[in-house]
Homo-oligomer: A and B are copies of this chain.
Amino acid sequence: MDRSPVSETGSIPFVGGNVVQRGLPMLEPIRHERADAARNRATILHAAERLVSEHGAQRVTMDQVACAARVGKGTLFRHFGDRRGLMRALLDEGERDFQEGFIRGPAPLGPGAPPRDRLVAFGERLLEHIEVQGDLIASAENGAPGERLRHSVYAAYRVHIAVLLQDSGYPGEVGYLADVLLGALVSELVLFQRRELGMSQEQLKRCWAELVRTVVPASGVSHPA
């Protein structure tokens, strides 16, 4: 019996993510999801979404979700692994779009613009995302130390930024600088700056742009769109 499925959700077009599992020469452990399972997943996501929008992500308990979705707790955890997994699943669609945007979308977020401008756009988009989904993101990240960093979403961002830095001609350790820059966009910090320090979103965007311009060389290759 399979007691631990939970395909790592994370929706990365190019790193891990939800694998489409159809049309394969059906000779391997990947069969496809049973109909009732798919139905349950949808029901759960719906219920969770509603509860989150009603009470806020931080306040929603797994029991509540299970109960609202008329589903056993075991089912919940079978589908999403843990609380964070559920929250991540709720963010999944937006996450997909975002990644799609900076990988293949129009400039300046996507390819075509100079790396530095793409970086600025990247941060601005993320700040906007945090503005509306902040609590959910925080819920999805909050947990065992380092979890966030080990997850494929972080890896995707890190690679993307590192590549941009490379392209910009930055001479130092691009991976390290990527970590630092992403540190400025951690939802926990941004929410703190917005709510506790009373900084406006525009202010944060300006600061981010200034930071990027201070640190990243202006010139650099810009991959054609």
Residues of A within 8 A of B (CB): 58, 138-139, 141-142, 144-146, 148-150, 172-173, 175-177, 179-180, 183-184, 186-189, 191-193, 196-197, 199, 203-204, 207, 210-211, 214-215
Q: Which residues of the other chain, B, contact A142 by a CB distance below 8 angstroms? A: 144-145
Contact of A214 among B58, B148, B196, B215 (CB under 8 A): B215
Chain B min CB distance to A70 (Å)? 30
Give the 9 A-B CB pairs with smallest separation, nearest first. A183-B183, A138-B145, A176-B207, A149-B192, A180-B184, A145-B188, A142-B145, A146-B192, A173-B207
Contact in complex: A191, B150 (CB < 8 Å): no
With both beta carbons as reference points, the residue of chain B lying nearest to A204 in the complex is identified as B176
Contact in complex: A188, B138 (CB < 8 Å): no
Contact of A197 among B139, B148, B175 (CB under 8 A): B175
Contact in complex: B196, A149 (CB < 8 Å): yes
Contact in complex: B138, A192 (CB < 8 Å): no
Q: How far is the CA of A191 from the CA of B147 in the complex (A)?
A: 12
Q: How far is the CA of A193 from the CA of B173 in the complex (A)?
A: 13
With both beta carbons as reference points, the residue of chain B lying nearest to A142 in the complex is identified as B145
Q: How far is the CA of A150 from the CA of B196 in the complex (A)?
A: 8
Q: Which residues of the other chain, B, contact A146 by a CB distance below 8 angstroms? A: 138, 188, 191-192, 196
Contact in complex: A193, B207 (CB < 8 Å): no
- Besides A176-B207, A180-B183, 13 more A-B contacts (Cβ < 8 Å) are A138-B145, A141-B145, A145-B191, A146-B192, A149-B189, A150-B192, A172-B214, A173-B207, A176-B193, A176-B204, A176-B211, A179-B193, A180-B180
Chain B min CB distance to A132 (Å)? 16
Chain B min CB distance to A158 (Å)? 10
CB pairs A–B below 8 angstroms (10 shown)? A138-B145, A148-B188, A172-B211, A173-B210, A179-B189, A179-B193, A180-B180, A180-B183, A183-B183, A215-B215
With both beta carbons as reference points, the residue of chain B lying nearest to A180 in the complex is identified as B184
